[in-house]
Amino acid sequence: MSLMAPESRDRVKNWTEIVEDYSERKLTYDTDKLAAMSGVASEIQNMTGNEYFAGIWKEDLLSQLLWKVRDPEYSICIQPYTAPTWSWASINGSISYNLENLSSE
C-alpha cells in the first residue's frame, strides 16, 4: 500500500523525471545547477504551496531522498559547495530515483 496520495505521487514522478534528465546535462558552471531549476521550482511552489529546499520538496521529503548516482566512476561531489550532500544537486553526474515504493497498488 502506498502512503502517498495519487496526485502527490504523480507530482513526485514528474519532478524526478525532470531532475533525472537534467542531471545528465553538462553545465558550463556546476554552481548554476539549482539556480537553473529555480524557475520550474518556483512555478510548482506557487501551484502547490509545497516548500522547496535545495532541489527537494518538503512534502515529498522521504521519496526525494531516494536518489542515487547512476555511474559512481564518473560522478563527483561538486566543489566548491553548491548544495547539501543529501541533495542530488551536490553531485556532478547522472542520478536516478528509486521510487518503486511510490507505485500505486
1 has a pLDDT exceeding 80:
no
CA nearest to 93, candidates 32, 44, 35, 22: 22
Q: Is residue 17 part of a domain?
A: yes
Residue 67, SS3?
A: strand
pLDDT tier for residue 95 given thresholds of 50, 70 and 90: very high
Residue 52 lies in a domain: yes
Which domain, by its residues, includes 65? Answer: 6-102
pTM (2 d.p.): 0.76
- Residue 61 placed within a domain: yes
Task: Look at the chain and report how many structural domains it folds into.
Answer: 1
pLDDT tens digits for range 40-88: 888 888 888 888 888 888 888 888 888 999 887 777 777 788 888 889 9
Within-domain flag for 25:
yes
